[in-house]
Amino acid sequence: MLQISQIKENKAATIEGLKRKFFKNAEESVEQVLTLDEKRRETQVELDATLAKSNSIAKEIGAMMKAGKKEEAEQAKAETGVLKARSKELEEALKAIETELQNELVLLPNLPHVSVPAGKTPEENEVILENGAIPELGEEALPHWDLIKKYDIIDFELGNKITGAGFPVYKGKGARIQRALINFFLDEAIAAGYFEIQPPILINRDSGFGTGQLPDKDGQMYHATGDDLFLIPTAEVPITNIYRDVILQESDLPVKNVGYTPCFRREAGSWGAHVRGLNRLHQFDKVEIVQINKPEHSYTALEEMSLHVQGLLQKLELPYRVLRLCGGDMSFTAALTYDMEVWSAAQKRWLEVSSVSNFETYQANRLKLRMKSEGKNVVLHTLNGSALALPRILAAILENNQTAEGIKIPKVLVPYCGFDTI
């Protein structure tokens, strides 16, 4: 969440940043926030003055009574009664203003970092790196949705029977390679200094608000209405919320956590080859890395996280590219995002498999996540990244490694799978 002080001190830059995120009515929203803040401060000043005057008169009443000034004391009591009534009105008005101000602030997205390219669509994202040779497959090459039927490793029809579209059932070697990928990703993160967390996959509203899913993504998450809980869209949400309302010590930093969870998203539902098969699901598995760091170190940490994800793709022998997302394609909460995409040889297109983002203080302001430094509380920076999301990784592995004899498993996964071919 943006802070009032940040908006007041950098009004023009705030408006410009909101426009780069293609936030509608940027000027009007900023003016509304500043107007409400001014009204809040004026109301607070009047309330403080009214309370001070009421308290001062109340102290004089006793002296008046002792001096025999009963009539003056009664007048003073009447005046304090008027002042108390006014104080109550002002307190209620202040509470209403603060609620309205908070409601306006939470609608403002995070501001993009200076390095974020201009643009609104994915086509305007900046390709900053490509790695690996693009495999050339013969005309007989199959897309992964045909390969999984051929080798009977994932069943979409069975998932549709049990739950609905977008909830596949992994079978046999399909299930084993899922487990292999999860364990490989976790082991690599732990070796890189991340501490493993296994969080709940249901969150409350406070957690959804803390990391910015609510109110922005309200309606896009699965909602258990009876208990007012939400199925997580990513492990980022419960892991980051571990530190909600926490004051860390400087010696605690950087915080580096990793967790595996299933993830749930209602957003899937469009038609076409770009969402066919494993390309987009309602439920999928993902390993997430999360960091909490000092503001001055967070962008170094972001680069380290990007390199960690790239290292996983290299070990899986998948050709990939790294994009710096433009302002219009970034998430509501991110200040800078790198997307990693792998090449899908049978589909002949790039598939996004990871986003690594720095949120700067945006989430920490909502979470009230701070660090004690030299007697002061410093708001920290939060970062996270997919390391990695499984469905499209598996799609690329299946497609890129298909041969006449079967699908070859990347060497790094063989010890985890217990087999080298499907």
Which residues line the annotated binding site? 234, 265-267, 288, 352-355, 384
Nearest CA to 279 among 200, 169, 394? 394
Structure tokens at 420: 């080298």
Tell me how far apart the alpha carbons of residues 410 and 315 are, in angstroms, rounded to a whole number.
8
E strand segments, 213-319: 223-224, 229-231, 247-249, 255-264, 283-293
Determine contact, residues 212/220, Cβ cutoff 8 Å: no
Q: Extract the annotated binding site for L-serine.
A: 234, 265, 288, 384
- The DSSP annotation for 263-282 comes to EE-TT----SGGGSGGGS-S
- The DSSP annotation for 328-384 comes to GGS-SS-SEEEEEEEEETTTTEEEEEEEEEE-TTHHHHHHT-EEEETTEEEE-EEEE
Phi and psi of 227, rounded to 5°? Answer: -110, 0
Amino acid identity at 195? F
> For the sheet containing 320-324, what is the strand order?
126-131, 320-324, 336-344, 349-358, 381-389, 283-293, 255-264, 195-196
* 214: Cβ contacts below 8 Å, ≥ 6 apart: 205, 208, 230
Q: Extract the annotated binding site for ATP.
A: 265-267, 352-355
* Beta-strand pair 370-373/247-249: parallel
Structure tokens at 362: 């945006």
Nearest CA to 140 among 399, 363, 414? 399
Our CA angle for 4, 7, 10, nearest 5°, is 145
